[in-house]
């Protein structure tokens, strides 16, 4: 039990920026619309997956290293990590995303799909060496709880990798608003230090899909 108040970014966005989970009210992917979205996430996502592999330093980790993909969608990044030698659990709250992932990637050793959310990961304590979440934090319902969950499933020294599309225009609305402004990445990075991680490192990857990343290592 701690008497340190849990920081609540939803209540206190920095410098007037929206909180890192400004699309938390998204109703979730389901039905025909969800299927169309899942199919659309099968293409054009390879660059994001390759960037995550680089940020996780997967090539330097032993074969069979364990990785959790939080909000895996139809699984492009999860299967690439598996192809690179990792043992991967892809987690997503949307049944339609997991159905497309299972159909597209079939059964592969070391690649598993589980229904769940960032706030309540269906993964054992300390199981993972890497937890990543690509283009998903802006949908998390509860950033504090999700960071605590990421820390719980990571072994000490494990790495959290988060990426979001960089939004330059603060007035971006609708689909164009799914991503982060730089201040949101900074706020998320600072919050990592309250949940058993080193303060996050923010990077801009302008030539790699115009992406912002945060990496933080578990104590």
Residues in contact with ligand SAM by CB under 6 A are 29, 41, 45, 48, 70-73, 76-77, 92-94, 97, 117-119, 134-136, 139-141
Nearer to ligand SAM, 1 or 32 (CB): 32
C-beta nearest to ligand SAM: residue: 73
CB 118 → ligand SAM: shortest distance, Å? Answer: 4
Nearer to ligand SAM, 26 or 219 (CB): 26
Q: For residue 131, give both structure tokens.
A: 């937890």
Closest among 47, 46, 112, 54 to 82, alpha carbons compared = 112
CB 109 → ligand SAM: shortest distance, Å? Answer: 22
DSSP 116-168: -BTTB-SS-TT-EEEEEEES-GGG-S-HHHHHHHHHHHEEEEEEEEEEEEB--
Nearer to ligand SAM, 43 or 107 (CB): 43
Nearer to ligand SAM, 1 or 146 (CB): 146
Q: Which residues have CB under 8 Å from 13's CB, separation 6+?
A: 19, 187
CB 190 → ligand SAM: shortest distance, Å? Answer: 21
Give the separation between CA 215 and CA 219, rounded to whole angstroms: 13
Nearer to ligand SAM, 117 or 189 (CB): 117
Q: Which residues have CB under 8 Å from 10's CB, separation 6+?
A: 19, 21, 24, 143
CB 192 → ligand SAM: shortest distance, Å? Answer: 17
CB 203 → ligand SAM: shortest distance, Å? Answer: 17
Q: For residue 214, give both structure tokens.
A: 């945060």
Give the separation between CA 76 and CA 59, rounded to whole angstroms: 18
């Amino acid at each position: 039990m701690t008497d340190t108040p849990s920081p609540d970014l939803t209540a206190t966005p920095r410098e007037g920026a929206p909180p890192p989970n400004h699309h938390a009210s998204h109703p979730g992917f389901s039905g025909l619309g969800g299927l169309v979205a899942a199919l659309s996430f099968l293409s054009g996502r390879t660059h994001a997956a390759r960037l995550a592999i680089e940020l996780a330093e997967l090539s330097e980790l032993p074969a069979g290293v364990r990785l959790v993909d939080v909000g895996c969608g139809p699984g492009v990044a999860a299967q690439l990590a598996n192809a690179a030698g990792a043992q991967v659990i892809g987690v997503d709250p949307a049944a339609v995303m997991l159905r497309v992932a299972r159909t597209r990637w079939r059964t592969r050793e070391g690649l598993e799909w589980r229904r769940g959310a960032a706030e309540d990961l269906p993964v054992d304590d300390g199981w993972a060496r890497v937890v990543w979440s690509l283009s998903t934090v802006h949908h998390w319902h509860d950033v504090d709880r999700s960071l605590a969950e990421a820390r719980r499933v990571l072994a000490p020294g494990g790495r959290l990798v988060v990426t979001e599309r960089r939004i330059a225009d603060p007035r971006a609305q609708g689909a164009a608003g799914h991503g982060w402004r730089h201040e949101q990445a900074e706020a998320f990075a600072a919050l990592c230090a309250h949940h058993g991680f080193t303060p996050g490192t923010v990077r801009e990857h302008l030539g790699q899909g115009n992406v912002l990343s945060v990496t933080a290592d578990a104590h």
